Chains A and B, each alone.
With several copies, the nearest count.
Chain A
Amino acid sequence: MINKVVKNAGEALADLADGMTLMLGGFGLCGIPENCINELVRKGVSGLTCISNNAGVDDFGIGLMLQKRQVKKMIASYVGENAEFERQLLSGELEVELIPQGTLATRCLAAGYGMPAIFTPAGVGTEVAEGKEVRTFGGKDYLLERAFEADFALVKAWRGDTAGNLMYRHTARNFNPVMAMAGKVTVAEVEELVPEGTLDPDQIHTPGIYVHRIFQGMNYEKRIEQRTVRKYEGLDITKAEDYAG
């Protein structure tokens, strides 16, 4: 097989250029492609459109790219906890498109499954529906939402093999499998890269056909955004807000 294995993020993203549209896997800081993000920052590409559920925090994840003004437009479902993001948004430097989380995921799925558009009830009757086609099926209204197009999808998996097959760990799976399917070029960074034939074919989350380049990542920080622990019996909820996010 044409070798999908590259040495590192530098080689994987060599042809990633200014102005491109990227998908970045992860939910919050969980399961984000840390090595790829660091390389994007090092490389200094700019004018990027980033499709990602969140925008990281000030000093980690996509936040690092925001600090260097590399992002032109952010497409996300929730962008809290990022002061630099807030500053750029208010100053008009950064364009933001907020879309429902399920719509975000399903527009990725649509791309990976060759479906040009999907119907979802999310956002009907809200400002999300503005300018969009509404259609009624079985008495319920749905929005027509288009599949995403992304030049690169950057995903992080737990284990991967040289054929590009990927397995994710726990909730670090999140958006990674659907974005892996959706990139014109999909780059996977993995905590452990193994020879093909090592992984159980029945346990592959992302078949290698969707993955164009794969590399063994390094120095994973895997930062925890909300460290919550059980000191007493039961749950210990310290932050309770009436917020939806």
Chain B
Amino acid sequence: MLDKEGIAKRIAREIKDGYYVNLGIGIPTLVANYIPEDIDVVLQSENGLLGMGPFPYEGSEDPDLINAGKQTITMLPGSAVFDSAMSFGMIRAQKVDLTILGAMEVSEYGDIANWKIPGKLVKGMGGAMDLVASAKNIIVAMQQVNKAGESKLLPRCTLPLTGVRCIRKVVTELAVFEIDIQNGGFHLIERAPGVSITEIRNATAGRFFAADDVPEMRL
């Protein structure tokens, strides 16, 4: 079973040389730590930056330079700054190669819910609805099972949706799934180290498909 760092590490393997990548808040942000040294990746921050670098060293924080999580950041050589309309313009036009974001629920048809829990204070969807509606290549990073032991990979989402039929790949603490958006179903393609297919099946409420010999993931 993976911890958050492990999920991030696995997702980092999906990133290819030359990719423009948008990382959501939470586990997705951790992915930046595991991008291989030998490839060049440009991080897009939807508040208006391409070329996001690491956090600044203490004392060199710049209040005019933050990411979409409002954290102080730096810019790498080759960066470009733009306004919010252009930022979501390039997202909508699918210029961003890969979007990684968190989720509270994902359905077997690739619906995603990650912005609102009825009865709890709603903070807003931020850029999440734009990202899931537009991105050609989205990976969801999430815990497969909630604290009560219930699966969050569902036949259909119970929470208000962020987007419909948009998620094709999910990485959890237990496994990597591809989602068949057309016919519905979570297809197991990799197991976390030491986790059995049965354990994964038991933690998947939606339709589950697995070959007999699903490999363990490499990290």
Contacts and interface: CB of A to CB of B under 8 A. Distances in A.
Direct contact of A and B (CB under 8 A): yes
Size bracket, chain A contacts? 35 or more
A120 B92 contact: yes
Contact of A98 (B27, B101, B103, B122): B122
Interface stretch (B44-52, B176-184, B193-201, B203-211): B44-52
B93 A181 contact: yes
B163 interface: yes
A241 interface: yes
A243 B67 CA distance: 15
B124 A226 contact: no
A225 B66 CA distance: 9
Interface string A152-168: 00000010011101001
A44 interface: no
A69 B80 CA distance: 39
A201 B65 CA distance: 12
Interface stretch (A8-16, A35-43, A101-109): A101-109
Interface in A1-20: 1-2
Interface centre among B73, B84, B96 (most CB of A within 10 A): B84
Interface in A223-244: 223-231, 234-237, 239-244
A29 B69 CA distance: 11
B171 to A, nearest CB: 12
Interface in A175-228: 175-178, 181, 195-197, 201-202, 204-205, 207-210, 222-228
B6 interface: no
Size bracket, chain B contacts? 35 or more
Nearest to B165: A125
B88 A102 contact: yes
B28 to A, nearest CB: 9
Given A114-B94, A207-B50, A208-B50, A229 B40 contact: no
B70 interface: yes
Q: Which 10 A-B pairs have the closest CB atoms?
A: A197-B77, A114-B92, A102-B88, A2-B18, A196-B78, A113-B89, A102-B130, A125-B164, A163-B78, A244-B128
Given A163-B78, A209-B90, 9 more contacts: A165-B80, A170-B75, A196-B78, A207-B82, A222-B64, A224-B66, A226-B72, A227-B71, A242-B143
30 contacts: A2-B40, A27-B84, A30-B66, A77-B127, A98-B124, A102-B130, A105-B88, A114-B90, A125-B163, A126-B129, A127-B160, A163-B78, A170-B65, A171-B49, A174-B84, A181-B90, A201-B51, A204-B81, A224-B66, A228-B61, A230-B56, A230-B58, A237-B33, A240-B4, A240-B26, A242-B103, A243-B102, A243-B123, A244-B114, A244-B115
